[in-house]
Chain A
Amino acid sequence: MNNVTTWQVISTIIARDWRVAMRRRSDILNPLLFVLMVVTLFPLAVGPGPDVLGRIAAGVIWVVALLSSLLGSERLFRDDYLDGTLEQLVLLPTPLAVTALAKIIIHWLLSGLPLVILTPVCALLLKLPMDGWATLMLTLLLGTPILSALTAIGAALTVSLGRGGALLSLLLLPLFIPLIIFASAAVEGALVGAPILGQVLLLAGLMVLTLTLAPLAVAAAIRVSVN
């Protein structure tokens, strides 16, 4: 029995998944293109005037972020499940929750972080007033890890089904609701010059709570799915 530390497991899984993802970059790019296209649809649908667009911009960006995180979620465990890697990960001597946490981190690096980087473009397209930009970026930075963690739970539960798509959104969207409430309240507060520290701290607290508990749920779900 060789002594692998927790950090070694996490970094190895992250490095491996990064390499796998880099060989199929379209999987990372497609959800981002989806975000851009949906954002483009809104001015066409509600009119290009800055008064309407600017008011709904933060909410639209958040809803689109939720939807795009559902799009990319199936690849979280699907390939590993199909080629048997997931079973090998279950057999690791370290707790399965550690593996789950690594999976959540790499998923955030590949889907959440690009989304945060893309946000200024979306905010520009939707004419969000400048006062809200920093807050929007901050809420996305705090919120996308929550998205990745919750998505991982849903993906782990449905990985053995092979037809997760619509079911996954049914499971996950109710869980996203607190997130979108706090995030849009923070941006709205920033736009009218109200203090936003409370909402931001709540989001940060939610992120810590989710990242603590979600790996346990993901581990239990993987055990059920792999059997």
Chain B
Amino acid sequence: MWRWLHPYAKGEATYRLLGHWLPWLAISAALSLLVGIVWGLAFAPPDYQQGDSYRIIYIHVPAAIFSMGAYTGMAITALIALVWQIRTAEWAIAAIAPVGAVLTAVSLFTGAVWGKPMWGTWWEWDARLTSQLILLFLYLGVLALYYAFDDKRTGAKAAGILALVGVVNVPIIHYSVYWWNTLHQGATITKFEKPSMATSMLIPLLICLLGFALFTAAMICWRLRHEILRQELHRPWVQQELIGQEKLN
């Protein structure tokens, strides 16, 4: 496996590999998102309790799941970057963080929009909401640290250490917040119990999940390609690549 992976420590090889992946990821993401969201928003049956307003679940749940998935991915690349000192992994941290931050923000925003008609409030200090907000802060901290350094190599390593410190903290934060909420306010808020979904609602949700996964992967590929170009700007292959594109235009 190492023999197979080794060439991708070099920027150029990864750039080409991602270039092969990107169109497939982008097309399949666009297709499955289109199918899933149109199906979910227009054709899935309305909920017997929540009517049509439950439909935001088709954006809210995938965004929330992959906001956490992206953080795990970022922490794994951070570990790879710190242990094996692979530069591509360092750039991947910088490529994943903004995508994850936006997904977290989307899940918070759609949650607030959903909460207004259902709970009667934009924001409740519920355990899940709070830990998602803290996840957003962790993402922003990683991003702020990365962009604070002029030397991006140091910045990526520092951001990686912070991501790892964060990943140790995430379960502690999650459980402490969960416990804090149950301590202070037991059953006063009508917590939205997730009903076991009907199949006709579940299928579009699964398609949306797939679509968000592909979309996240495509965005990360795209950002990582740009990051590689930006960091290797002084290399001849990048200059050839960019000049070649200019000629085509």
**Which residues of A does B touch, CB under 8 Å?**
153, 157-158, 160-161, 163, 167, 170-171, 173-175, 177-178, 181-182, 185, 206, 213, 217, 220-221, 224-225, 227
Contacts and interface: CB of A to CB of B under 8 A. Distances in A.
B176 A173 contact: no
A158 B176 contact: no
Interface in B124-160: 134, 137-138, 140-141, 144-145, 148-149, 154, 157-158
A171 B165 CA distance: 10
Main SS at interface, chain B: helix
A174 B172 CA distance: 11
A225 B165 contact: no
B238 interface: no
Given A157-B162, A171-B141, A177 B177 contact: yes
Contacts, number: 69
Given A157-B158, A173-B137, A181-B176, 9 more contacts: A161-B148, A163-B148, A167-B144, A170-B144, A174-B173, A178-B172, A178-B176, A217-B161, A225-B154
Interface of B: 82, 134, 137-138, 140-141, 144-145, 148-149, 154, 157-158, 161-162, 164-166, 168-169, 172-173, 176-177, 179-180, 183
B134 A174 contact: yes
7 contacts: A153-B161, A153-B165, A161-B149, A177-B134, A177-B176, A217-B161, A221-B158
A226 B82 CA distance: 15
A217 B82 CA distance: 11
Nearest to A213: B168
Q: Which 10 interchain pairs have the tightest Cβ spacing?
A: A178-B176, A174-B137, A181-B180, A224-B157, A171-B141, A181-B176, A157-B158, A178-B172, A174-B134, A170-B141
